[in-house]
Chain A
Amino acid sequence: KAGVTQTPRYLIKTRGQQVTLSCSPISGHRSVSWYQQTPGQGLQFLFEYFSETQRNKGNFPGRFSGRQFSNSRSEMNVSTLELGDSALYLCASSVPPSGANVLTFGAGSRLTVL
């Protein structure tokens, strides 16, 4: 069965712009989590969605937002981009919400902010 699909894979934006990233989970997976990965900070938890509701949230400013649709697909949005937002954004899906469940990751969306 198809894995977790993230689009776009690469994108370049300039400061002040906004960006929307998309994640399609594995069929049957209803929970989607987002992480930001940078060389200095490692993987930082952004948020988790289950049944179109945000279950958990990390310590990121309000410029970072997300949503989940009825088909479990999820999007995250970053507004007013800053240079420090350059990162690999990873999406992961699991059957039920987090916990004793394995996360299946997509290949990531690499965002460069100039």
Chain B
Amino acid sequence: SQQGEEDPQALSIQEGENATMNCSYKTSINNLQWYRQNSGRGLVHLILIRSNEREKHSGRLRVTLDTSKKSSSLLITASRAADTASYFCATDGRRDDKIIFGKGTRLHILP
């Protein structure tokens, strides 16, 4: 079964606005990652946050992790047209370290 569930399923915002996507998971994890996929191509790694970290930044990306709520959020600031893509969270569990992906959030940046 899926470990991560992203919310919302789809999001449309104006260019320049901030985009926030959320991910919830079910079991204890070692790490949580976010990936981006452009139109049916391979996924590209964005950022990894470990279970003992609460927040991480990379350029215009900010990821938070709340292990007590089993949730994470990805914030993209000052969105650009090139950010239009699907975003997936991926987790590896403490009992089972295979990396499992959620169904993703489709982000559309409007010009």
Contact A104/B45 with A42-B102, A43-B88 known, Cβ cut-off 8 Å: yes
Flag if A102 contacts B33 (CB, 8 Å). Answer: yes
A42 near B42 with CB under 8 A, answer no
Interface of chain B: mostly helix, strand, loop or mixed: strand
- Residue in B48, B102, B104 whose CB lies within 8 Å of A100: B48
| Cβ B31 vs Cβ A42 within 8 A | no
B30 close to A103 (CB less than 8 A): no
Interface stretch (choices A12-20, A63-71, A74-82, A105-113): A105-113
**Is B80's beta carbon under 8 Å from chain A?**
no
**Is A45 a contact of B102 with CB atoms below 8 Å?**
no
Residues 80-111 (chain B) with a chain A CB within 8 angstroms: 88, 90, 92, 96-104
- Among B40, B45, B99, B102, which residue has its beta carbon within 8 angstroms of that of A33? B99
Give the A-binding residues of B (Cβ under 8 A). Answer: 2, 30-31, 33, 35, 40-45, 48, 50, 88, 90, 92, 96-104
